[in-house]
Amino acid sequence: MATSLFTQIRRDLHQIPEPGFAEVKTQKYLLDYLERLPQERMQIKTWRTGILVRIAGTNPKRTIAWRTDMDGLPIAEETSYPFRSLHEGYMHACGHDMHMAIALGLVTHFVEQPIADDLLFLFQPAEEGPGGAQPMMESEEFASWRPDCIFALHIAPEYPVGYIATKPGILFANTSELYIDLVGKGGHAAFPHKANDMVVAGSHLITQLQTIVARNVDPLDSAVVTIGKLEGGTKQNIIAEKARLEGTIRTFSTESMALVKARIEALVKGIEAGFDCTASIDYGVGYCQVYNEEKLTTAFMDWVREQGEDVTLIACKEAMTGEDFGYFLQEIPGFLFWLGVHTPYGLHHSKIEPSEDAIEVGIRLVSRYFTWLSEQN
């Protein structure tokens, strides 16, 4: 079977994953494609390594926006693909290559078959970090084409191809990175009484941090505190002077996020006193929740159910995943939905191989939805 255009585009993009705000090759690839399309109805602007594409409607009363993300992840790829990443240590392991291919498919469709309303397509860098949505929204380029509503999708490994999932209200959690540095006094392993061991201090702190969700967060609420990395020491017979903990915090409410951070700070002060060390906390990048606007999301879900057997809708539960698309939804009504890609490996896994059949599903579904939405004025 011949490879479709947008499947090939996905494969091309899969080979050039880049860090946030360094998507130079990715931006050039996208621009080269966009510039080959008919230009009569289309305007293109760049912002840092991102792109904004406006398609003029035939009788516009509003601007409908679609957002896709662009960056890759610092993961060494272990897929079976013949088109594996050419950038060592980097991989499109979160589906952004598929997201971009779908977005280009939508641009192509609406350039050739415009609808009444204006359309805005946002190719946003740095979703994985340090966060591109908020600064893009603050840019002059975005302000000049500010949309009235905005939408996005994200691939979902757990759902079959042809299935989508969403819900009104909160869909993704508030998130925050977490970095804690401990500094004590190093020394020879044979003389532990002359040193302050930060591996021991860090280990105690990790155990204490696990009590926050279990003993401080309302059991009817939800929160996650995960330490994914502990680094300390230089050699087996040297007591570690420094230790660094790296992790993440996720909550479904801003109140719980504030509570968790307050407890972390209290526990770290206790470690400073108990182990006679100094500590610092850095919350790094934080994303707000993805909150789907109730009316638009419900209407979309009703519309999908009326489409017959082409796409199957699942009314899903909220997830502890994070997405900086939430910043758009803080100010502009819209929603995000999951797109099934049927793969046993999860997001951010080095072996994830999403089904490429989902690309055409996404293009077909969103193009029909935007056409219908434009007719609802």
Tell me how far apart the alpha carbons of residues 82 and 84 are, in angstroms, rounded to a whole number.
6
User: Does residue 183 sit in the same domain as residue 43?
Assistant: no
Position 289 scores a pLDDT of 96
| Residues of the chain where predicted confidence (pLDDT) is lower than 50 | 1
| Phi–psi pair at 197, nearest 5 degrees | -80, 115
Catalytic residue annotation: 69, 128
User: Does residue 152 sit in the same domain as residue 49?
Assistant: yes
- Helices of type H across 193-337: 198-215, 254-275, 294-305, 326-331
Position 1 scores a pLDDT of 47
Strand partners, 282: 179
Structure tokens at 182: 């401990």
Structure tokens at 358: 């989902």
Please enumerate in sequence order all residues whose Cβ is within 8 A of that of 3, keeping only pairs 6 or more positions apart, or say none: 11
Taking alpha carbons only, the member of 12, 6, 17 closest to residue 92 is 17
User: Does residue 114 sit in the same domain as residue 248?
Assistant: no
CATH number at residue 146: 3.40.630.10
Other Cβ atoms less than 10 A from the Cβ of 33: the count is 16
Instruction: Look at the chain and report how many structural domains it folds into.
Output: 2
Domain span at residue 365? Answer: 5-171+289-375
User: Does residue 193 sit in the same domain as residue 87?
Assistant: no
Position 265 scores a pLDDT of 98
Structure tokens at 206: 């990790």
User: Does residue 329 sit in the same domain as residue 264?
Assistant: no
- Per-residue pLDDT reduced to its tens digit, 24-47: 999 999 999 999 999 999 999 999
- Per-residue pLDDT reduced to its tens digit, 123-144: 999 999 999 999 999 999 999 9
pTM above 0.85, yes or no: yes
Q: Which amino acid is at 143?
A: A
| 196 SS3 class | strand
Residue finishing a domain among 286, 301, 336: 286
Position 123 scores a pLDDT of 99
Position 2 scores a pLDDT of 61
